[in-house]
Structure 1
Amino acid sequence: MHTLHQESLVIDGLIIAKFDRAVFEDMRRAGLAAANCTVSVWEDFKTTVQNIARMKSLIRENSELASLVRSTGDILQAQRDNKTGIVLGFQNAHAFEDHLGHIEAFHDMGVRVVQLCYNTQNLIGTGCYERDGGLSDYGREVIAEMNRLGMLIDLSHVGARTSEETILESKQPVAYTHCLPAGLKQHPRNKSDEQLKFIADRGGFVGVTMFPPFLKRGIDATVDDYVEAIGYVIERIGEDCVGIGTDHTQGHGHEFFEWLTHDKGRHRRLTQFGTVRNPLGIRTIGELPNLTAAMERAGWKPSRIEKVIGGNWLRLFKQVWGA
C-alpha cells in the first residue's frame, strides 16, 4: 500500500455496497479506518431495524475486519486495530416515519448519519428530483432532535430549497456527504458553486463522490477525473471542509438500481443511470490507495491529502457527534 495512504486516517463518507465479508475485506485493502455505510433508503421503521440487526450480525461474524462506530473514539480505535469502523447511516429519513421518538431509538441503535430526503418528497422536505416545497414544520422538529442527539444531517439527494432551509435551521454543521459540482456537469444531483459556498460559509461540509453518471466524463472517467472534481470543489470552498464520499455500490446488480431509481422503490421512475462503472483506477473499494497516489500526481501537498481522505471527516464527526 502507498505510504502516505498507509500512514493517514482514511474515511469514506458514503458506501452503499452489498455488505458482506468480501466488502469488509476490500475495506481493509483500502486502508479505511471508517465508512458511513447505508442501512436504509426506502425501507420503513421495522425493515430498517432488521437491516441494522443484519449489519451488526455481519460485524460480529467478521470482528477481525470490522467494528461498529458510535463515537470518533471508535474510529481511532478501529484504525489502531487495523479494522474498518462501520458508521450506520441512512440515505432517507423515511424510516423515522411520523414519529420523533424513532430518531432517538435509531440513535440508541448506533445510527449517526441521516440524509433527510432521498430524491423525492417525504414528511420532512423534498428531494432533488421534484419541485421543492422546502422544509415542513415536522422537518424543523426532526432537525432540532437530530441536533440534540448529535446525528449528522446529510443533504446530498435533497432539493435546493429544502437544503438551504436546513442549513439555516440546523444548530450543527450539515453535509453533502456525496455530491459533485454542477460546474463540471449539469445534473439534478450536482451542486452549483453557489450551493457549495452556501453550505461551506455556514460551517458545513462537502463530501465529493465519484458516481459515474454525475461525473463530467461519465463511465469514461478515471481516478484523475475524480481528483479534478475534488480539486474543483476545494478551489471554491477551501480544503478544510471537503472529504470523499465515493458512493461505492459494490456487489449490487441491475435490480438494486431499479429499486433505488423508482420513488419509494416501487413507483414512478425518477432517473436512469445507464451503465454504472466506476472510474478507472478506483473501480473497487480496495483500490482507494490509488486515489491518494492520484492526488500526489496532481501535486497536492501531503497536508491537504491527509485532510481530504479522512482528517476533515473526523473533525466534522467530532463536532456533530460530541465527545
Structure 2
Amino acid sequence: MSNLHDSATIIDGLIIAKWERSIFEDMRRGGLTAANCTVSVWEGFSDTVANIADMKKLMRENSELVSLVRSTKDIQDAKQNGKTGIILGFQNAHAFEDNLGYIEAFADMGVRVVQICYNTQNLIGTGCYERDGGLSGFGREAIAEMNRVGIMVDLSHVGGATSEEAILASAKPVCYSHCLPSGLKEHPRNKSDEQLRFIADHGGFIGVTMFPPFLKRGIEATVTDYVEAIDYVINLVGEDCVGVGTDFTQGYDKGFFDWITHDKGRYRQLTKFGTILNPLGIRTIGEFPNLTDAMEKAGWTESRIRKVMGDNWVRTFKEVWGA
C-alpha cells in the first residue's frame, strides 16, 4: 500500500456487497476509511428495519474492523482508529412507503444516503429505465424532509427529468453516488455531459463507478480504464465535486442480479447485465490501493488524488449532514 493511499481518506460512495465479516476484512485490506453501504433496495419499511438491525449486529460482532458513521467526525475517528466507517444507505426510497415520518425514523437509525428511485417508478419519481414523469408532489416533500434531517439525496439510478427536478428542489447538495459518463458509453444508467455539468453547477457531487456493463470496454476493462472514466468527468466539471463510487457487488451470485434488476409486475425483468467482472486490478475491495497507484501512474497530483479518493466526499457529506 503506497504512503499516499495509507495517509489519505479513502471513501467509496457505494458498495452493495453481501454483508459478512469477509467483506469487512477486505475493506481493511483495501485501506477504506468509509463506505456508503446499501441496506435497502426493494424492501419496505419493516424489512429494511430488519436489514439495519442485522447490519448493526454484524458490526458489533466485528467492532475491531468497522464502526457506524453518523457524522463526518465519525469518518475521521474511523481513520484514526484503523477501522472502516459504515455509512448506512438505501438505493431506493421504497422503504419510506408513503409516510414522511419514516424518513426521520431512518435518520435516527443512522441512515445518511438515500437514492430516491431504483431504475423504475415509485411514489417519489421515475428511474432511468422508464418514461420519466419527473418528481411527484410527495417526492418534493420527501426531499425537503431529507434535507431537514440530514439524509443525502442520491440520483444514480434516477431518470433525467426526475433528477433535474430533484437537483433544483433540494436545498442541500445531491449526488450521483455511482455513475459513468455516456460520453464514453451509451447506456440508460450513464449520464450525459449536460447532466453531469448540471448537477455540478448546482453544487452537487458525482461519484464515478466501475460497474462493468457501463464501462467503455466492459469486462475487458482494467483499473486504468476506471481512472480514464474519472478523468473524463473531472475534465467536464473540475476536480472538486468528483469522487469514487465503485458499486462493488462482492459475494453475490446470479440470483442477486435477477432480484436487483426486477420491477413491478411480479418480477418483470428490467434489464440484463450479462457477465459481471470488475476491472482487472480492482476486482475486489481489498485491491483499492491499486486505484491510488493507477492515479499516480496517470500523473495526477497528490492534491487531486486526495480530493477524489475521499476529501471531496467528506466536504459534501458535511454540507448535507451538518457539522
How would you bin the TM-score normalised by the shorter chain? over 0.9
- The CA deviation string for residues 288-310 of structure 1, in whole angstroms up to 9 with x for no partner, is 00000000110000100000000
Q: Residue type matched to 1:263 in 2?
A: D
The answer for the alignment partner of 1:76 in structure 2 is 76
| Aligned-pair CA distance for 1:264 | 4.8
2: distance between equivalents of 1:251 and 1:29?
Answer: 16
| Aligned-pair CA distance for 1:265 | 9.4
1:35 matched to 2:35: yes
Task: Answer whether contact 1:128 1:157 (CA < 8 A) is retained.
Answer: yes
Q: TM-score, normalised by structure 2?
A: 0.99
1: distance between equivalents of 2:118 and 2:284?
Answer: 24
The answer for the alignment partner of 2:144 in structure 1 is 144
Q: Residue type matched to 1:33 in 2?
A: T
The answer for the alignment partner of 1:182 in structure 2 is 182
2: distance between equivalents of 1:32 and 1:169?
Answer: 32
- Structure 2's unaligned 5+ residue stretches are none
Task: Answer whether contact 1:134 1:165 (CA < 8 A) is retained.
Answer: yes
Q: TM-score, normalised by structure 1?
A: 0.99
1: distance between equivalents of 2:86 and 2:314?
Answer: 14
- The CA deviation string for residues 153-206 of structure 1, in whole angstroms up to 9 with x for no partner, is 000000000000000000001000000000000000000000000000000000
The answer for the alignment partner of 2:203 in structure 1 is 203
Give 3-state SS (helix, strand or coil) of 1:240's partner.
coil
Q: Residue type matched to 2:163 in 1?
A: S
Give 3-state SS (helix, strand or coil) of 1:64's partner.
coil
2: distance between equivalents of 1:246 and 1:269?
Answer: 24
1:116 matched to 2:116: yes
The answer for the alignment partner of 1:256 in structure 2 is 256
1:85-96 superposed matches below 5 A: 85-96=85-96
Moved over 3 A (4+): none
1:172 matched to 2:193: no
- Structure 1's unaligned 5+ residue stretches are none
| Aligned-pair CA distance for 1:11 | 0.4
Q: Residue type matched to 2:18 in 1?
A: K
| Aligned-pair CA distance for 1:77 | 0.4
Task: Answer whether contact 1:259 1:266 (CA < 8 A) is retained.
Answer: no
- The CA deviation string for residues 20-66 of structure 1, in whole angstroms up to 9 with x for no partner, is 10000000011111000000000000000000000000000000000
1: distance between equivalents of 2:299 and 2:78?
Answer: 30
Q: Mark the CA change 1:311 to 1:160 in structure 2 (over 3 Å): closer, same or farther.
A: same
Give 3-state SS (helix, strand or coil) of 1:195's partner.
helix
- Aligned residues: percent identity? 74
Give 3-state SS (helix, strand or coil) of 1:239's partner.
coil
Q: Mark the CA change 1:146 to 1:100 in structure 2 (over 3 Å): closer, same or farther.
A: same
Q: Residue type matched to 1:29 in 2?
A: R
Q: Residue type matched to 1:134 in 2?
A: G
The answer for the alignment partner of 1:53 in structure 2 is 53
2: distance between equivalents of 1:308 and 1:24?
Answer: 22
Task: Answer whether contact 1:42 1:265 (CA < 8 A) is retained.
Answer: no
1:190-229 superposed matches below 5 A: 190-229=190-229
Task: Answer whether contact 1:206 1:243 (CA < 8 A) is retained.
Answer: yes
Q: Mark the CA change 1:249 to 1:301 in structure 2 (over 3 Å): closer, same or farther.
A: same
Q: Residue type matched to 1:12 in 2?
A: D
Aligned residues: 323
Task: Answer whether contact 1:259 1:265 (CA < 8 A) is retained.
Answer: no
The answer for the alignment partner of 2:270 in structure 1 is 270
Q: Residue type matched to 1:40 in 2?
A: S
2: distance between equivalents of 1:241 and 1:117?
Answer: 22
1: distance between equivalents of 2:201 and 2:135?
Answer: 20
Q: Mark the CA change 1:85 to 1:266 in structure 2 (over 3 Å): closer, same or farther.
A: farther
Q: Residue type matched to 1:257 in 2?
A: F
| Aligned-pair CA distance for 1:268 | 1.1
